[in-house]
């Protein structure tokens, strides 16, 4: 919403400086995103939240400033409607269930033409194109007061009848700007005796608009239902200034005032005379409503004891007519404040005008709840896994969960279990990744341009369709161009050991074109993890350490040799491979007896047993 | 005998003197003090001496032994320090150190784990939940019915429901971590303090400050008598811990359908430290010369939300807040483009 300061000043006196005004407006919820300097003065670029359609008008903005400045709002003066000297026929039928209020009037003898300079200039300031004086006036009045209105060419309303109803699926409608739409079922429309002439609350019809040959106009100021307008405008992908007000609820109480303002301007600028009685078809009177709030609740919500007189002062500035009766505050909500319905809404009014930053900040004082919440997750496990990989030289990446079909195909991940987005932002981001490989390989290739030592990992969710349900799991994957199989296996062994899990990682490592890749279902790890560490006393007696070198066929698996050595005696505390070259391997063996000092002789016996069993099993000879 | 002993002493001392390394020193020690060393052997002869001379020669032998031992010890020390200084001379201490090859934690993770730590200190428990969500939890339960205008600000990606238990339009990618409010609150009895980090998705064009995928963190707390004062203090505490004690935090009114009253938080600009100007006098473009950057949405949980999850708003009140972890990361590290966070270039990652 663009609001020229020069224009706002016609409606309210401003004493604050531009910068202070911008800050105060932002603080009370009308965000000033920018102040544009243009010839003719500064223009406020405002962020209007959906709850405050009244701020989509200059009077609405001026009203907010008036409450900040404690000034009076100066509404435009309107004249009483003159009794018509002649009455043109027009039959209106409406349905209050879809059109709660329909206010209108006929003006005849207008001279359609260019708008006067002052009007053109104002429209230009707010980024609107001048069309002709009648259209410009309706646009300006909407912008000024916040109620959208539309001018029909009376002579094009066939049969001089208007019926508000709902469209059938696929009915054709051509908007005033010449675009044709197939209407969805249920759009609110006005029909004359033959055709649809208006897509209510969104766009007028081309067949009944105001052009240079128009002599008589019918001005309609309606109240439309937000959900109906929004649903049609979403389905058509068609938004207008009017629809963005109606979908958030318009001020239902001022249709006649708006009409009078429009009539005044038309008579002044385009001439003519009123040629009908005032139409005002409505389901009920639209009057201010009452909202009550307990004063004690205001204080409890704010977290400090605000004085009653301050509450009253604030609410008076906002025209909410506050009255206190026995601890309860009663307000009367003006019809332009459709957002005020419950006591919390009133509390916000008090708080925002009081100033959020004047509220003293006190941390919650209650006891800290200790019972476990639902969906609890211990993120320290993820942190631990990341730290292990980082210590091993891997850097963490974060890649998109959404991937393309081309990539899935390239990495052999296409399958029935892959989830697809119906309305992707582009084909590049159409599928949810079933694994982390794509991002990591891309990361590797990206870095290959600059270096050769690349080790990357990602810990993130993967998504799959399992048993007709969407399943999300955390995976931990890595890729390396420089680490060996044994190094990566070692990292994973270490990881599993830290998580108290017995698992052989060999099958999780895959040899790929430019290095090695691994993938672990981390959700499973998290589920089984046991990171508790319990102290075991260290041995009281010294160990005996020896290195055993053997020659053995390269086909014999190291793991089998280690197992065989360990199986020879329970005092063999650990066996590690420390060197290997072609068919010779050296193992580091630690003998440890918990009960006593080991003698050379005892060890020698076990040593012989080891050598013998390795020879028998694998044909190994000692070096 | 005495002559022989004195001869041993002289030879031993000259050997010790001349020893160039520990090995030859060790040999010298063995040669004189070892089991069959010269001094040891000579001392074995002592009992053969006449009784009246034994004491005197014995004392001399002992003195010589102590002298040799001391000389050995002294030489040992000299050799060690000589070696150290020799090594020192051969090292170019001005050459750069060799850093261990450890990797780097992604900025999002750093921000995530730090945020968790801070809120844990305030008694919050951390939760995790689905990114593939229903309209109910992503919108309806949060007081955002279908056709609510605020849905415009959260354009949604819908999943193809072929071969699933869901009907079209029922499976979507959550647009906000607030989806966990309903899921957790309907099952957990108040009071509680909850923090939910996670990825969210929007149908949005990608540019420097928008993406279709980014990370958020949501927090909410329900207890008796919670107030806006408590909410503001909690966030003030968090931002000061996270961005530094000098950080200023201010709140403005804002509307989100699932809170009332609603607020937005701003922190003093991390680049110009809230001065709106850079040290060179130029205006700070990071905060558009305002000195403030918008960072978070918050408010008191709307009674409709509490009711929808079966919590009586007459007894309990709560507050909720949500912010972009991605944004926190870019602010913390002075990054000017959200897309840097999904770039795997190690030249970026190694900076963190």
Say yes or no for a CB contact (<8 Å) between A301 and B251.
no
pLDDT (tens digit per residue) in B231-276: 999 999 999 999 999 999 999 999 999 999 999 999 999 888 899 8
Query: Scanning every residue of chain A, which has its alpha carbon at the shortest distance from the alpha carbon of B184?
Result: A374
- Give the rounded percent of residues in chain B with a pLDDT score beyond 90: 57
Residues of A in contact with B339 (CB under 8 A): none
Helix residue ranges per DSSP H, A321-372: 343-354
B159: chain A residues, CB-CB within 8 Å = 419-422, 432, 470
pLDDT in tens, A111-151: 999 999 999 999 998 889 999 999 999 999 999 999 999 99
pLDDT of residue B160: 93
**Residue B250 Cα, gap to closest chain A Cα (Å):** 6
Q: Dihedral of CA A273/A275/A277/A281: which sign?
A: negative
- Structural domains of chain A in order of their starting residue, each with its CATH number: 2-69 (3.30.56.10), 91-282 (3.50.40.10), 289-358 (3.30.56.10), 380-528 (3.30.930.10), 544-622 (3.30.70.380)
Number of other CB atoms surrounding residue A563 within 10 Å: 11
* Residue of B194, B203, B345 lying closest to A373 (CB–CB): B194
Which residues in B lie closer than 8 A to residue A399 (C-beta atoms)?
342, 344
Considering CB atoms only, which of A352, A361, A454 is closest to B229?
A: A361
Q: What is the pLDDT of residue A608?
A: 92
Q: Do B184 and A373 touch (CB under 8 A)?
A: yes
| Chain B positions in Cβ-Cβ contact with residue A51 (cut-off 8 Å) | 255
Cα–Cα distance between B317 and A298 in angstroms, integer?
Answer: 13
Pairing of the two strands A161-166 and A91-93: parallel
Percent of chain B with pLDDT over 70: 99
Dihedral sign (CA A345, A346, A349, A354): negative
Q: Is pLDDT at B277 greater than 80 in this prediction? A: yes
Kindly tell me if the per-residue pLDDT of A514 is higher than 90: no
Give the nearest chain B residue to A455 (CA atoms): B103
d(CA A329, CA A314): 13
| pLDDT score recorded for residue B205 | 85
| Structure token digits, residue B248 | 């200023």
The fourth-level CATH superfamily of domain B107-349 is Bira Bifunctional Protein; Domain 2 (3.30.930.10)
Helix A133-145 vs helix A58-69: crossing angle, to nearest 10: 30
Q: How confident is the model at residue A29 (pLDDT cuts 50, 70, 90)?
A: very high
Chain A, chain B: beta-carbon pairs less than 8 Å apart: 264
Chain centroid to Cα A433, Å, comes to 22
Q: What is d(CA A119, CA A100) in angstroms, rounded to the nearest whole number? A: 31
pLDDT mean over B136-162? 88
Is pLDDT above 80 for B88?
no
pLDDT for A175 beyond 80: yes
What is the predicted ipTM?
0.89
**Rounded mean pLDDT, A191-211:** 96
Buried-state track B283-300, b at ≥16 Cβ within 10 A, e below 16: ebebbeebbbbbbbbbbb
pLDDT digit string, tens, across residues B19-63: 888 888 888 888 888 888 888 888 888 888 888 888 888 888 888
* pLDDT score at A385: 97
Nearest-CA residue of chain B relative to A470? B132
Chain A residues with CB under 8 Å of B317 CB are 300-301
CA A223 to chain centre: 30
Give which of B178, B253, B289 to mutate to test A binding, by max A Cβ within 10 Å: B253
pLDDT for position A414: 85
The model's pLDDT over A467-500, given as tens digits with 9 standing for 90+, comes to 999 999 999 999 999 999 999 999 999 999 999 9
Cβ of A364 within 8 Å of Cβ of B131? The answer is no
Can you tell me the distance from the alpha carbon of A568 to that of A550, in angstroms, rounded to the nearest whole number?
16
Are A364 and B226 a contacting pair at CB < 8 A? yes
Residue of B nearest to A225 (CA): B147
Q: Do the chains contact at A303 and B229, CB–CB below 8 Å?
A: yes
pLDDT in tens, A402-439: 999 999 999 888 888 999 999 999 999 999 999 999 99
Encode pLDDT of A270-304 as tens digits.
999 999 999 999 999 999 999 999 999 999 999 99
Please tell me the predicted confidence (pLDDT) of residue B281: 87
Verify whether the Cβ–Cβ distance B342 to A374 is below 8 Å: no
Shortest alpha-carbon distance between residue A118 and chain B (Å): 33
Residues A178, A211: contact at Cβ < 8 Å?
no
Question: What one-character DSSP code corresponds to residue A53?
Answer: G
CA distance, residue A400 to nearest chain B CA (Å): 7
Q: Which residues, 6 or more positions from A10, have their beta carbon under 8 angstroms from its beta carbon?
A: A74
Mean pLDDT of A538-566: 91
Chain B nearest C-alpha distance from A418 (Å): 10
Give the contacts of A232 (CB within 8 A, at least 6 positions apart). A183, A184, A186, A187, A188, A199, A202
Higher local confidence (pLDDT), A623 or B186: B186
Q: HSE, CB side, 13 Å, CA atoms: give it for residue A421.
A: 28
Find out whether B164 and A471 touch, Cβ atoms under 8 Å.
no
Q: Which of B134, B261, B300 is the mutation pick for testing A, counting most A CBs within 10 A?
A: B261
Chain A's closest residue to B204, CA to CA, is: A425
Which residues from chain B sit within 8 angstroms of residue A247, using beta carbons?
147, 149
Pairwise CB contact (< 8 Å): A395 & B104: yes
Verify whether the Cβ–Cβ distance B255 to A397 is below 8 Å: no
Q: Which residue has the higher pLDDT, B101 or B89?
A: B101
* B263 vs A327, more confident: B263
Is the Cβ pair B260, A423 closer than 8 Å?
no
Asked whether the predicted pLDDT for residue B154 surpasses 90, the reply is no
Question: How far apart, in Å, do the first and last CA atoms of chain B sit?
Answer: 77
A399 and B236 within 8 Å at the Cβ level: the answer is no
Domain ranges of chain B: 2-90, 107-349
Smallest Cα distance from B4 to chain A, Å: 42
Which pLDDT score, from 0 to 100, does residue B89 have? 74
Q: Does the structure show a pLDDT above 80 at B85?
A: no
- Is residue B21 classed as helix, strand or coil in its secondary structure? coil
Residues A98-102, mean pLDDT to the nearest whole number: 97
Distance between CA atoms of residues A596 and A599, nearest Å: 9
Best residue in A23, A303, A439 for a mutation probing chain B (most B CBs within 10 Å): A303
- What pLDDT does B17 receive? 85
Smallest CA–CA distance, residue B254 to chain A, in Å, is 5
Categorize the per-residue pLDDT at B349 as very low, low, confident or very high, splitting at 50, 70 and 90: very high
Interior CA angle at A338 toward A234 and A190, to 5°?
45
pLDDT digits (tens, 9 = 90+) for B204-233: 888 888 889 999 999 999 999 999 999 999
Least CA distance to B195: which residue of chain A? A376
Task: Give B266 to chain A, closest Cα distance, Å.
Answer: 11
pLDDT recorded at residue A109: 97
Residue B315's pLDDT is: 95
List CB contacts (< 8 A) between A28 and chain B: 252-253
pLDDT at A66 > cutoff 90: yes
The reply to whether residue B102 touches residue A390, judged by beta carbons under 8 angstroms, is yes
Work out the average pLDDT over A300-328. 95
Q: Closest partner residue to A248 among B103, B149, B288, by Cβ?
A: B149
Contact A49/B160, CB-based, under 8 Å? no
Taking residues A318-329, what's their average pLDDT? 95
């Amino acid at each position: 919403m663009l609001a020229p300061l020069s224009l706002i000043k016609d409606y309210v006196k401003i004493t604050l400086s531009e910068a202070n005004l911008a800050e105060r407006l932002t603080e009370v919820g009308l965000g000033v995103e920018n102040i544009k300097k243009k010839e003719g003065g500064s223009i406020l670029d405002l962020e209007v939240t959906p709850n405050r359609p009244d701020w989509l008008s200059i009077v609405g903005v001026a009203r907010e400033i008036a409450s900040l400045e404690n000034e009076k709002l100066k509404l435009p003066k309107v004249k009483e409607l003159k009794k018509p000297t002649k009455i043109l026929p027009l039959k209106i039928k409406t349905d209050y269930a879809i059109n709660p209020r329909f206010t209108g009037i006929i003006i005849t003898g207008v001279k359609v033409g260019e708008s006067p300079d002052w009007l053109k200039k104002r429209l230009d300031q707010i980024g609107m194109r001048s069309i002709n004086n009648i259209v410009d006036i309706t646009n300006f009045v909407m912008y000024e007061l916040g109620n959208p209105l539309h001018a029909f060419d009376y002579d094009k309303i066939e049969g001089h009848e208007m019926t508000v109803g709902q469209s059938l699926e696929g009915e054709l409608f051509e908007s005033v700007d010449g675009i044709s739409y197939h209407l969805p079922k249920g759009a609110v429309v006005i029909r004359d005796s033959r055709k649809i002439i208006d897509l209510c609350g969104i766009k007028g019809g081309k067949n009944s608009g105001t052009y240079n040959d128009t002599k008589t106009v019918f001005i309609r100021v309606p109240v439309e239902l937000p959900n109906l307008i929004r649903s049609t405008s979403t389905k058509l992908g068609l938004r207008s200034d009017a629809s963005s007000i109606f979908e958030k609820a318009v001020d239902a109480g001022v249709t006649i005032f708006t009409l009078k303002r429009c009539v005044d301007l038309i008579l002044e600028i385009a001439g003519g005379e009123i040629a009908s009685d005032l139409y005002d078809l409505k389901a009920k009177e639209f009057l201010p409503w009452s909202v009550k709030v307990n004063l004690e609740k205001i204080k409890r919500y704010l977290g400090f004891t605000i004085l009653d007189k301050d509450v009253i002062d604030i609410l008076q500035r906002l025209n909410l007519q506050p009255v206190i009766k026995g601890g309860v505050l009663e307000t009367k909500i003006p019809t332009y404040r459709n957002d005020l319905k419950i006591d919390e809404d009133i509390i916000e009014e008090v708080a925002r005008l009081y100033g959020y930053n004047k509220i003293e900040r006190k941390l919650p004082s209650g006891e800290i709840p200790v019972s476990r919440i639902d969906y609890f997750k211990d993120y320290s496990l993820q942190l631990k896994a990341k730290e292990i990989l980082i210590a091993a030289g891997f850097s963490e990446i974060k890649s998109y969960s959404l991937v393309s079909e081309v990539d899935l195909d390239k990495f052999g991940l296409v399958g029935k279990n892959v989830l697809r987005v119906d309305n992707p932002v582009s084909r590049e981001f159409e599928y949810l990744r079933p694994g982390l490989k794509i991002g990591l390989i891309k990361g590797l290739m990206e870095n290959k341009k600059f270096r050769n030592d690349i080790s990357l990992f990602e810990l993130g969710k993967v998504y799959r369709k399992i048993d007709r349900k969407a399943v999300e799991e955390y995976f931990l994957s890595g890729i390396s161009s420089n680490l060996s199989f044994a190094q990566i296996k070692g990292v994973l062994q270490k990881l599993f050991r830290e998580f108290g899990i017995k698992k052989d990682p060999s099958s999780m490592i895959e040899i790929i074109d430019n290095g090695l890749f691994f993938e672990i279902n981390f959700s499973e790890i998290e589920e089984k993890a046991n990171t508790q560490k319990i102290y075991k006393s260290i041995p009281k007696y010294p160990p005996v350490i020896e290195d055993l070198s053997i020659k053995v066929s390269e086909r014999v698996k190291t793991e089998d040799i280690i197992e065989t050595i360990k199986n020879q005696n329970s005092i063999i505390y650990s066996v590690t491979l420390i060197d290997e070259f072609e068919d010779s391997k050296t193992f580091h063996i630690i003998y440890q007896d918990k009960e006593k000092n080991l003698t050379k002789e005892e060890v020698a016996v076990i040593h012989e047993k080891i050598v013998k069993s390795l020879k028998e099993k694998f044909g190994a000879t000692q070096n | 005998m005495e002559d022989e002993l004195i001869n041993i002493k002289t030879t031993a001392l000259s050997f010790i003197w001349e020893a160039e390394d520990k090995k030859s020193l060790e040999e010298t020690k063995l040669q004189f003090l070892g089991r069959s060393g010269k001094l040891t052997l000579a001392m074995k002869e002592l009992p053969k001496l006449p009784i009246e001379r034994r004491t005197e020669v014995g004392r001399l032998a002992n003195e010589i032994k102590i002298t040799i031992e001391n000389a050995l010890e002294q030489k040992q020390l000299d050799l060690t320090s000589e070696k150290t200084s020799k090594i020192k001379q051969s090292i170019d201490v001005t050459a750069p150190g060799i850093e261990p090859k450890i990797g780097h934690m992604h900025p999002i993770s750093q921000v995530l784990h730090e945020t968790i730590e801070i809120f844990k200190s305030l008694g919050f428990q951390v939760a995790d939940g689905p990114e593939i969500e229903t309209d109910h939890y992503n919108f309806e339960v949060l007081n955002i019915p279908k056709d609510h205008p605020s849905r415009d600000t959260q354009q949604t990606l819908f999943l193809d429901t072929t071969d699933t238990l869901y009907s079209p339009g029922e499976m979507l990618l959550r647009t906000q971590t607030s989806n966990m409010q309903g899921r957790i609150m309907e099952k957990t009895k108040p009071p509680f303090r909850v923090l939910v980090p996670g990825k969210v998705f929007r149908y949005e064009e990608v540019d420097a400050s928008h993406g279709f995928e980014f990370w958020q963190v949501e927090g909410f707390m329900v207890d008796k008598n919670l107030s806006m004062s408590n909410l503001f203090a909690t966030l003030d505490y968090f931002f000061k811990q996270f961005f530094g004690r000098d950080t200023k935090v201010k709140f403005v009114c804002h509307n989100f359908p699932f809170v009332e009253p609603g607020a937005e938080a701003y922190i003093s600009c991390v680049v110009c430290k809230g001065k709106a100007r850079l040290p060179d006098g130029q205006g700070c473009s990071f905060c558009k010369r305002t000195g403030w950057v918008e960072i978070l949405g918050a408010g008191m949980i709307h009674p409709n939300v509490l009711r929808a999850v079966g919590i009586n708003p007459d007894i309990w009140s709560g507050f909720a807040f949500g912010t972009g972890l991605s944004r926190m990361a870019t602010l913390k590290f002075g990054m000017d483009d959200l897309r840097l966070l999904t770039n795997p270039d190690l030249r970026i990652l190694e900076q963190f």
